[in-house]
């Protein structure tokens, strides 16, 4: 029993020692791949190198090991021996892992380059689009400015045309008025004699012409009373200049006192004189006779130009003054004849 136990113990110790040596060899041995000297026919002989523990590369030992290996491959024997590890490095054949890694690196680089190229292309397209948009906006701005300038020119030309037409109309009107004034100046005596014939209805001396308005009231009243007509015609002479209004006020207390219209007639003359605004630049010899019809409450119902002056501006100004005049109550509901112009 003891012999058998000793025998098994010895075997176990030997096995343990062998395993320990093998483990140490694996752990602390050279980290190189050993190759067999038997090279397949499909592969070319690889260059082998020899290295001792510390030195690697080109050395005398490497040269001897290389010659020894070549001779052994040819079936010859050479003298000498070397010690160390023989390694083989393929020359034409590349490692698959290295190739894969390099291809991966290349693919990453190409991907990065492609991404950079795409970014550069997008940036270039964005810059081009922005430039086109800026050019489009500039063109639109220029078109707007041209349209605005054309519109301003049209408005300016239209305004100039209107002003020219207006000036031409004013000049034509002035020319017509001046021509009519010249025609009136050629016959001043006839113009002055007509009011005397209308007012007096009979030969009246010139020195008593200021009293004629109040006298005509009584004559017209006597003439129309037999016909039982409610209308009454009163003719008053209105001066052209405001300073002469006071001259007519003298007749208010004297002429026509027997009929009861003296004070009202003077008030009517003053009222018409305040409303009368003769146009400027006309001949002082112009005269006109108008008849105004008053309603029961003193409102103007109708104004008829019985005798025109020959100048439309003068007639319209006389008619407008009658519309603006305030009439005394004594003349409400009657027809009043008013003479505009100088009586002497």
CA distances for 303 relative to 194, 218, 221, 260, angstroms: 21, 22, 20, 25
Rounding to the nearest 10 degrees, give the CA dihedral for residues 151, 157, 159, 165.
-150
Which is nearest to 323 in space by CA: 288, 296, 279, 290? 290
Judged against a pLDDT cut of 80, whether residue 293 lies above it is answered with yes
Whole-model pTM: value is 0.29
Model pLDDT, residue 265? 77
Q: Where are the domains of the chain?
A: 2-89, 94-186, 189-340
The distance from CA 56 to its chain's CA centroid, rounded to whole angstroms, is: 88
Judged against a pLDDT cut of 90, whether residue 116 lies above it is answered with yes
Least reliable range by pLDDT among 8-22, 167-181, 214-228: 214-228
Encoded tokens for 230:
């409610």
Encoded tokens for 152:
């301003």
Fold of 189-340: 3.30.1150
pLDDT grade for 130, boundaries at 50, 70 and 90? very high
């Amino acid at each position: 029993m003891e012999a058998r136990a000793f025998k098994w113990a010895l075997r176990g110790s030997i096995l343990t020692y062998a395993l320990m040596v093998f483990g140490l060899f694996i752990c602390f041995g050279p980290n190189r791949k050993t190759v067999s000297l038997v090279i397949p026919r499909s592969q070319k002989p690889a260059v082998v190198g020899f290295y001792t523990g510390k030195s690697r590369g080109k050395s005398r030992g490497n040269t001897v090991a290389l010659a020894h290996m070549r001779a052994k491959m040819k079936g010859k024997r050479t003298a000498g021996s070397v010690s160390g590890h023989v390694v083989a490095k393929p020359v034409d054949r590349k490692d698959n892992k290295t190739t894969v890694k390099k291809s991966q690196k290349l693919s990453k680089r190409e991907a990065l380059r492609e991404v950079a190229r795409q970014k550069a292309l997008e940036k270039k397209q964005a810059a081009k689009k922005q430039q086109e948009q800026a050019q489009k906006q500039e063109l639109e701005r220029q078109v707007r400015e041209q349209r605005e300038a054309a519109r301003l020119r049209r408005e300016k030309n239209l305004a100039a045309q209107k002003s020219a037409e207006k000036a031409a109309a004013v000049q034509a009107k002035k020319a017509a008025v001046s021509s009519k004034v010249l025609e009136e100046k050629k016959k001043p005596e006839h113009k002055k004699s007509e009011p005397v014939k209308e007012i007096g209805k009979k030969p009246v001396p010139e020195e008593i012409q200021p009293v004629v308005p109040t006298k005509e009231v009584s004559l017209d009243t006597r003439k129309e009373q037999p016909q039982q007509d409610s209308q009454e015609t009163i003719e008053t002479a209105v001066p052209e200049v405001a300073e002469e209004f006071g001259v007519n006020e003298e007749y208010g207390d004297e002429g026509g006192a027997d009929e009861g219209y003296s004070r009202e007639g003077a008030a009517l003359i003053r009222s018409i004189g305040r409303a009368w605004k003769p146009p400027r630049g006309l001949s002082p010899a112009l005269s006109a006779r108008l008849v105004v019809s008053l309603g029961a409450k003193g409102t103007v119902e109708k104004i008829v130009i019985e005798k025109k002056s020959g100048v439309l501006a003068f007639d319209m100004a006389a008619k407008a003054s009658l519309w603006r005049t305030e009439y005394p109550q004594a003349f409400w509901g009657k027809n009043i004849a008013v003479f505009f112009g100088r009586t002497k």
